[in-house]
Structure 1
Amino acid sequence: MSVRATLPAACAEWLAQAADGIDTGIEPASIILPRLSGAGLVGAGVPAEAGGSGGDIVDGVAAISAVAQESMASAFVLWGQRTYIEYLLQSPNRELEGRYLPDLLEGRIAGATALSNAMKFLAGLEPLQITARQDGDTLVLDGKMPWVTNLRPAGFHVAAAVDRADGGPAFIISLAHDDEGLVRSADLELIGMRSSDTAAVTLTGVRVGRDRILAEKAVDWLPRVRPAFVGLQCGMSIGLARRAIIEAGNAAGSGRGVLGEPIAEVQNLLDRTEARLFAGLRSREFEVDAASLFELRIELADIVAEAVSLELQAAGGRAYLARSGRDFARRWREAAFVPLITPSLVQLKSALQQKLKAA
């Protein structure tokens, strides 16, 4: 099974020219989302009746993959936007979807997911970092979100998992940039992927109504959205690996023909892994078999590492020169981020190990 998204020519050309500036922070993050939205990428896999371009979650993964071939930071922004949209689509809160979705699809406001903590909570890896107490009909929230992407200062919505101070079931809520008591930090000082509006959020006495709740019971809802959360993440690895393989193949000329076979092998492995991911997303098997999804995410990270290593070997010393190796250096930094995307590879492997011990 192969699904490929093709970037509009103008978008592809812009991403190719801006990728280094986006990675280093020279290009402003504010221009990324409107560009991606204008190219129809935000609506990929969103039902046409909801304002999207149709298709399914696999089309969303393919769109992120296509962007990641040019710019991992831009793909990271698209992942945050598309994942938040998926939460709205899968939430029983239809009123919230109707209120937020048009602006999200048009790129007028950003959507972010702070559910990495929740996914680790679901796997038994850490407690939730936000708590809520009831004050009449209002929820009062305190806590933190230490690392969130696509927190566009001009306006954002962010999904968060919340523990109840009274001991009731944890729930998922949507917060907004202008909620009183919500403070966005300055952008985190990343070594790359700087123009991604990645920051921390602190909540101090934030008061919101129950109309912002996306799901009343996190433990029931999270397994249903986890395949989209992780699957869309995998699009970043697929796109980065594919671009590195292309570049390795182009560079493996005179004196480097010995690399032909390993390049072909990693390409075949990428194709097979991508096909398994797409099949599992469409069959919805990952809703009950999270372990297989985690294993695919780990495998894709290994493929990325092998692909950029082959690109380096194929390019030789040119890859280590500042001018000729600029794009490779960016991909090397992007590849270094793949194991850290939450849930990180260490956390995924820990969850798999716990599952084996419990079996």
Structure 2
Amino acid sequence: MINHHLDIHLIDPILKDEVEPFIGKIDQMLYYPGQFLKSVGRSGLLLSAKLPIKEVRQREVQLIEKTATYCMTSAFLLWCHLAALTAVRMSTNPYIKEELLPLLESGKVLGGTGLSNALKYYAGIGTIQLKAERTKGGYFITGSLPSVSNLGDGHWFTILASLDDQHRLLGILPAEAEGLRLEEKNGFVGMNGTRTFSCSFNNVFLPDKWILTEDPDDFIQQIRPSLVLYQIPLGLGVASASIDHLSEVRRENADYFEGLNVQPEDLGRMLQEIQRTTYDYSKLADLVAFNQKILLTRLEIIHLTSQAVHNDMLYSGGRAYLKDSDPFRRLRESYFLFNLTPTVKQLENLRQSMRLEKN
């Protein structure tokens, strides 16, 4: 009998065994922690059947946060998988619900998301990069996506494509689909173990059974708040690790910290406030009405994470000024959070437009 109320602490030994020993390789040597993702699935921590959505969401926010305290790359890959799962869980397509969903939740199949373009399009700041043409039994997809993460053999990922100005569709397809060309991207300042690829579609056949929805306008509106909410614990985890490390450094050098304006507990209080807000959101049955507030909380965690990692670098001394130090790794990881859609620029513009509307 499956226990649907699994202890979140089942993640702890998985992180200890399959993330912590490999953090240096993940960060410096393009190591992909796929076994970690599969083990999370095998543990049962991604099962959703017969569970209220808010309970699933709370658990998954916590999974991402815990993982990010160790390694944001691993946490982001978990986010990619959960972003794909979020879309799959909402689909009413029988094949996807009955065949693909159990494989994704068990970790037998891993998921990526090509929805950055979709989020930009629905935010009014981009056009859809993929075109769909109806054919017998499905659609042909053409176009390209500049960056899709968590891809590899046996992985599936979600895409948005347009038929014309009025009609769009959301689908999911395997990374080895015929006509799909993947070109790996690395050389980033961090997060190089994410298996990120540019994807070129040359008449890739998307059968009807792989269609998540042919009404993506409402579908994206429903899942978008969850996708953004799941990004916040990426920052919560990294900021928490930086604050904890800063506290250790202060214990060793208490006299030096007396005159500093920023103290670890000050950052800790701000972190706790964002944590409370984030978990309050995760407990809501319907997030759509809170979309803008979730976006603003996402902006708050960007700024707090920036403060935490920079202060950790500033006050950890010479040990932080080593290429393989944890403070420097977290600093580089934090810049990814700033540029993950929705980016800090997009969020700052949203906040400014909301201020203007109030006035």
**TM-score for the superposition, normalised by structure 1:** 0.89
Show the counterpart of 2:26. 22
Distance 1:54 1:102 in 2: 19
Structure 1 window deviating more from structure 2 (16-25 vs 29-38): it is 29-38
In the alignment, is the contact (CA less than 8 A) between 2:14 and 2:36 conserved in 1? no
Q: How many residues align?
A: 348
Show the counterpart of 2:227. 229
The structural deviation recorded for 1:294 is: 1.2
Show the counterpart of 2:56. 56
What is the 5 A alignment of 1:285-304? Answer: 286-304=287-305
**TM-score for the superposition, normalised by structure 2:** 0.89
Q: Decide whether aligned partners of structure 1 residues 218 and 26 sit closer, same or farther in structure 2, where only a CA change above 3 A counts.
A: closer
Q: Percent identity?
A: 23
Among 246, 249, 256, the residue aligned to 2:247: 249
Distance 1:318 1:310 in 2: 14
Q: Decide whether aligned partners of structure 1 residues 33 and 344 sit closer, same or farther in structure 2, where only a CA change above 3 A counts.
A: same
**SS class of match (2:316):** helix
The structural deviation recorded for 1:121 is: 0.9
The structural deviation recorded for 1:285 is: 5.8
In the alignment, is the contact (CA less than 8 A) between 2:54 and 2:285 conserved in 1? no
Distance 2:36 2:285 in 1: 31
Q: Decide whether aligned partners of structure 1 residues 260 and 39 sit closer, same or farther in structure 2, where only a CA change above 3 A counts.
A: farther
Q: Decide whether aligned partners of structure 1 residues 273 and 203 sit closer, same or farther in structure 2, where only a CA change above 3 A counts.
A: same
Show the counterpart of 1:65. 65
Q: Kindly provide the amino acid, as one letter, of the partner of residue 295 in structure 2.
A: F
Q: Decide whether aligned partners of structure 1 residues 130 and 187 sit closer, same or farther in structure 2, where only a CA change above 3 A counts.
A: same
Show the counterpart of 1:102. 102
Show the counterpart of 1:155. 154
Q: How big is the alpha-carbon RMSD for the aligned residues of Structure 1 and Structure 2?
A: 2.5
In the alignment, is the contact (CA less than 8 A) between 1:29 and 1:197 conserved in 2? no
Distance 2:65 2:173 in 1: 28
The structural deviation recorded for 1:335 is: 1.2
The structural deviation recorded for 1:172 is: 0.9
Unpaired stretches in structure 1, ≥5 consecutive residues: none
Q: Decide whether aligned partners of structure 1 residues 354 and 135 sit closer, same or farther in structure 2, where only a CA change above 3 A counts.
A: farther
Distance 2:307 2:110 in 1: 33
In the alignment, is the contact (CA less than 8 A) between 1:286 and 1:292 conserved in 2? no
Show the counterpart of 1:214. 212
Q: Kindly provide the amino acid, as one letter, of the partner of residue 96 in structure 1.
A: I
The structural deviation recorded for 1:110 is: 1.5
2:153 is the counterpart of 1:122:
no
The structural deviation recorded for 1:275 is: 1.3
Show the counterpart of 1:164. 163
Q: Kindly provide the amino acid, as one letter, of the partner of residue 120 in structure 1.
A: K
Show the counterpart of 2:85. 85
Deviations 1:91-135 (A, max 9, x none): 222431221123223322220111111111111011111111112
Q: Kindly provide the amino acid, as one letter, of the partner of residue 200 in structure 2.
A: T
Q: Decide whether aligned partners of structure 1 residues 261 and 344 sit closer, same or farther in structure 2, where only a CA change above 3 A counts.
A: closer
Distance 2:126 2:224 in 1: 16
**SS class of match (2:199):** strand
Show the counterpart of 2:308. 307
In the alignment, is the contact (CA less than 8 A) between 1:61 and 1:232 conserved in 2? yes
In the alignment, is the contact (CA less than 8 A) between 1:20 and 1:330 conserved in 2? no
